[in-house]
Amino acid sequence: MKRAVFPGSFDPITNGHLDIIMRGLTLFDEIILAIGVNADKKYMFSLEQRKSFLEQTFKNQTKIKVTTYQGLTVDFCKKMKADFILRGLRNPADFEFEKAIAHTNRKLEKIETVFLLTSSGKSYISSSIVRDVIRNNGNYTSLVPDAVRI
C-alpha cells in the first residue's frame, strides 16, 4: 500500500491544501492528514476545530485519515507505516524551504517527499493570508473549503 503523510498545522485548511490533497489521491492508496502540535506556536483555531475542519471536508473520502501528532514528522511516518510525505509548493521560496526539510527527513529515515505544484489559480492562497483576511473581517469564503466557513 502506498501511504503518504501530509503534515501541516492547517490553521485553517485552505483551497490550496485541498487542491494538493485531492490530486495526491491519484498517487497514493491512503493519505494521512497529520496536524502537527507545536506548543510554541499560536494558532487562530483550536486543535479540535482544525481537526473538525479536515474531517468535515473529507468525510466522504475513504482514502483519507485525519489525526494529530507531536514530534518529528519522520517518526510519525514510521509509526504510521508511511513511506512518503506529501507536500505542496506554491512558489520558489516554498521549494527552497521544503527541499531542506526533505533532505533532512531523508537523512533521518528512509522516506521520500513528493512535491506537487499547487494549481495556478490557487498558488496565492496560504493559511496566513486567510487568517489575516478573517482577522480583518474580509470575505475569505472563496479561499477555504465549506467546513471552514464559520
Rounded-to-integer distance, Cα 62 and Cα 108, Å = 30
Annotation says 52 is catalytic: no
- Which residue in the list 65, 90, 106, 122 is annotated as catalytic? 90
C-alpha cell at 98: 521544503
Strand partners, 117: 89
User: Which amino acid is residue 125, in one-letter code?
Assistant: I
User: Which amino acid is residue 145, in one-letter code?
Assistant: P
Rg of the chain over all Cα atoms, to the nearest angstrom: 15
Annotation says 142 is catalytic: no
Annotation says 9 is catalytic: no
Rounded-to-integer distance, Cα 91 and Cα 95, Å = 7
C-alpha cell at 140: 475569505
Contacts of 99 (CB under 8 A, 6+ apart): none
- Which residue in the list 41, 107, 120, 142 is annotated as catalytic? 41
* Beta strand ranges found along 1-150 (DSSP E): 3-8, 30-36, 64-69, 84-89, 112-117
Annotation says 90 is catalytic: yes
Catalytic residues: 17, 41, 90, 127
